[in-house]
Structure 1
Amino acid sequence: MCWNTSSAFAPVGLALHGPATHKIVRTLGDAAHILIKDWPSDEGEEYVAAVKACVDAISGQIAPEQFREALLRAADEAGIAALTVVRR
């Protein structure tokens, strides 16, 4: 399992609602934590697809970039602003 895979996809900044307002997803482990602990709703087709894609990416069944695309769709569905984080 590749919980800390980070070089395979560009980090994503998320503007969540509530106490954990701004998060940066750098690894699949970060993503799993945010999806389970900080996501505003555990309902929605794209959310469920993102959770499955995260598990699939961690287990090596899909590329982390495919997961990133699913995460962005889930963020859009939930009304969460998402930004690509550019490293200097």
Structure 2
Amino acid sequence: MTTPFPSVTIEIQPAGKSRNIASVPEAAEVLLMDWPIHDGVKLKAARQKCLDALDGKVTITECRSAFIEAAKEARIFVDYPAKRL
């Protein structure tokens, strides 16, 4: 089952490297296996949203938003500024 979403960039170890997460299964794997913190309110919520999205209980957009919030909580979210014309 493919559940893509607009990619979210996070910083990974070693510091300074980045990774683009672009699907619900990929987000779930990172949250469960490679997350830099092991406890957090937003981490728990994001894990649940990913599982719920895989089951069709919530939208992919809700899952992505929860993933971003968890990345902010862990201080690994990379927010690229908008380009100016």
Shorter-chain TM band:
0.7 to 0.9
Contact 1:42 1:48 in 2 (8 A): no
CA distance in 2 between counterparts of 1:82 and 1:71 reads 12
| Alpha-carbon separation, structure 2, partners of 1:64 and 1:28 | 7
2:42 aligns with 46
2:84 aligned with 1:79, yes or no? no
User: Could you say what the CA RMSD is over the residues aligned between the two structures, in angstroms?
Assistant: 1.8
The CA distance in 2 between the partners of 1:46 and 1:32, in whole Å, is: 13
Q: Which has the higher strand share?
A: 2
> What is the aligned partner in structure 2 of residue 63 from structure 1?
59
Measured in 2, the distance between the counterparts of 1:18 and 1:36 equals 19
For 1:68, what is the secondary structure of its paired residue? helix
Consecutive unaligned residues of structure 1, counting only runs of 5 or more, are: none
- In 2, are the aligned partners of 1:72 and 1:82 still within 8 Å (CA)? no
Specify the code of the residue in structure 2 equivalent to 1:37: M
Tell me if the contact between 2:68 and 2:77 (Cα under 8 Å) persists in the aligned partners.
no
**Bigger Cα Rg:** 2
TM (norm. structure 2) is: 0.81
- Runs of 4 or more off by more than 2 Å in structure 1? 16-19, 81-84
Identity %: 29
Q: TM-score, normalised by structure 1?
A: 0.79
Give aligned pairs, total. Answer: 79
Give 1:5's aligned residue.
Answer: 3
